[in-house]
A and B are shown apart, each in its own frame.
Chain A
Amino acid sequence: MTSHPDVEALAFFAEELLEPAEERTVADHLQTCTACATALDELSEVSRALADVPLPSLPQDVADLLDQRVATAVRERSAQRTEEGRAPAGPPPAERPGGATVVPISRARRRGFHMPGLLLVAAAAVVVGGGGAMLYNGVLADRGAETGAAAPLMESSPEHSEPDTAQSYRPVVVGSGTAYTEAGLADQAAEVLAAGTAFEQGPGIQENTRYSPEGCAAALGEQLGTRFTLVDDAGYEGAPAWVLFAPEGEKVDVYVVGTDCTGDANTDVLAFETVEAP
């Protein structure tokens, strides 16, 4: 009985997604196996059961609320334009000092933009030093602890022991140089998470950026009810993008956002994946 295809294989067969050889095997099997033929029929019953659920019509109170909120937004925008014009929102573009392989921007920015290069390299070493395991354990794994994610970082570099409560709310920003793609996102994200080697510096932050990577991560994290602990300043489908990592238990949620991030997840998020924690 081991030659039965599983239900998922049958579902793939129905969508013509199987490799030719496998497709032939399943087709041959279906000729002789009534149980599998029945299962194939039932898969289309699933689609029909879903289609049978009647479409809900918009309740009047929801429609009214929607109209009200849009009307309020229109009024607020008009008032804003009348009073102050359209001032660009968001923090200034981040300055990205070169040289270090990994630049933890959160540290650099907190100390001002003129942090000496040597210190930057030292700060980078704190992040890179332990390799991938540390990147995960230090940056991602401990996020739920009340003591904050700073603790593991401090463990691996006792000389750098200043209390740093802000660290626990700031993601580490790296530039892995990964050109993420829609098809490869899950694998690529897992690789970056597990990477044991230093990251190359990313392509740099666009001048017209409205949010810094960490500002974007903070704003989206708040909106999504999660906390991003790692940001990869990289590219997605040929354009600059930030890839944000948020651990959720055994999994890590991976969000891809454009570098024109406005802090609104509904419009910023280009792609989403969930990968296993390394």
Chain B
Amino acid sequence: MEAVHELPDKELLERHAQGDEQAFAVLVKRHRERLWAVAMRMTGDREEASDALQDAFLSAFRAADRFRGESQVTTWLHRIVVNACHDRLRRRKVRPATPTEDDTLDVLSNERLGRSGGAPDHASQTEARLDVHAALDTLPLDQRMALTLVDMLGYRVEEAARILDVATGTVKSRCARGRAKLLPSLAHLRNPHHPPDVTSGRGGANPS
């Protein structure tokens, strides 16, 4: 094993910026598994996750000389991957993707069911058996990204805040809003004895 494999992230990035031809590949191998999980969870789609991951690493490749060392390299890489996923999600919201792969058809059709009605209809969402990703697709992107990092991938709120470059309170409130929106479509997945509409028929006056 070459010594370069044992260098810390920051030094690998510096060496890469100075022209080292191996350093960046080491960095990629070190972080790609984790970042793949982030990209998959963010996009819910294998092809998009693959594209986002490649775009992100190539962006980092080119931007290495602008890394100021104010954050951890991992945080910086996460942020770039999250941005790449965000771009794709945003574009998908604008123009829904055309199904091209058999293995994406399920998610895509669920997405359409979830989206076509405009306001979420709890009963039809249940009928459509929205999976987690389709449910996540109904959230605003900022809530989806916060929930993905904190609830799905287990990042601490502070880490998620650094990755998303927002305050910790912002991450908490985005997660809270997202969970509230997901409750009708997800809570019953784990807890089938409680009907999903237990919270929807109440007075619901917002006390704020």
Question: Interface of A with B (CB < 8 Å)?
Answer: 1-12, 14-15, 17, 22, 25-26, 35-36, 38-39, 42-43, 45-53, 55-59, 62-63, 65-67, 69-71, 73-74, 77-78, 81, 182-183, 223-226, 248, 253, 260, 262, 264-267, 269-272, 274
Question: Which residues of chain A are within 8 angstroms of B163 by Cβ–Cβ distance?
Answer: none
On whether the beta carbons of A266 and B91 are closer than 8 Å, the reply is no
B140 at the A interface (CB under 8 A): yes
Pick from A1, A45, A59, A266: contact of B187, CB below 8 A.
A45
A6-B204, A58-B32 given; A38·B58 CB < 8 A: no
* A-B residue pair count with CB separations less than 8 angstroms: 201
Q: Which residues of B contact A267 (CB under 8 A)?
A: 59-60, 62-63, 66, 80, 83
Q: How many Å lie between the Cα of A129 and that of B148 in the bound state? A: 45
Q: A12-B173, A265-B87 are in contact. Are A39 and B205 (CB under 8 A)?
A: no
Interchain CB contact under 8 A, A8 and B206: yes
Interface residues on B, range: 35 or more
* Residues of chain B in range 39-79 having any CB-CB distance to chain A below 8 Å: 40-41, 46, 49-50, 53-63, 66
Q: Are B83 and A269 in contact (CB under 8 A)?
A: yes
**Interface of A, helix, strand, loop or mixed by DSSP:** helix
Contact B187 A49, beta carbon cutoff 8 Å: yes
Please tell me if B101 contacts chain A, counting CB pairs below 8 Å.
Answer: no
Complex contacts, B179 vs chain A, CB 8 Å:
11, 43, 46-47
Cβ A225 vs Cβ B94 within 8 A? yes
- B167/A183 in contact, CB under 8 A: yes
B169 neighbours in A (Cβ, 8 Å): 17
Nearest CB of chain B from residue A69's CB, rounded to whole Å: 5
A65 near B199 with CB under 8 A, answer no
Q: Mark B147-188, 1 if CB is under 8 A from A, else 0.
A: 110011110000000000111011011011101101100110
Give chain B nearest CB distance to A28 CB in angstroms. Answer: 12
Nearest A residue to B61, CB-CB: A73
Instruction: Name the contact of A45 in the complex, choosing from B94, B191, B207 (C-beta under 8 A).
Output: B191
Docked complex Cα distance between A11 and B153 (Å):
19
- Cα A45 to Cα B180 in complex, Å, equals 11
Residue of B with least CB distance to A44: B179
* Seed contacts A3-B205, A266-B84; 14 additional CB < 8 Å A-B pairs: A4-B203, A6-B205, A39-B198, A46-B151, A50-B132, A56-B37, A66-B57, A73-B24, A224-B90, A265-B87, A266-B55, A266-B87, A267-B59, A271-B165
Name, among A8, A38, A65, the residue most crowded by chain B CB atoms within 10 Å (CB to CB).
A8
Subset of 25 A-B contacts with CB under 8 Å? A2-B203, A5-B207, A6-B204, A8-B206, A9-B207, A35-B202, A39-B198, A42-B183, A42-B198, A43-B183, A46-B151, A46-B182, A46-B187, A49-B189, A53-B41, A56-B36, A65-B54, A182-B165, A224-B91, A226-B91, A226-B94, A262-B62, A262-B66, A264-B59, A264-B63
Q: Is the CB of B142 closer than 8 A to any CB of chain A? A: yes
- Distance in Å: Cβ of B59 to nearest Cβ of chain A: 4
- Minimum CB–CB distance from A27 to chain B (whole Å) comes to 12
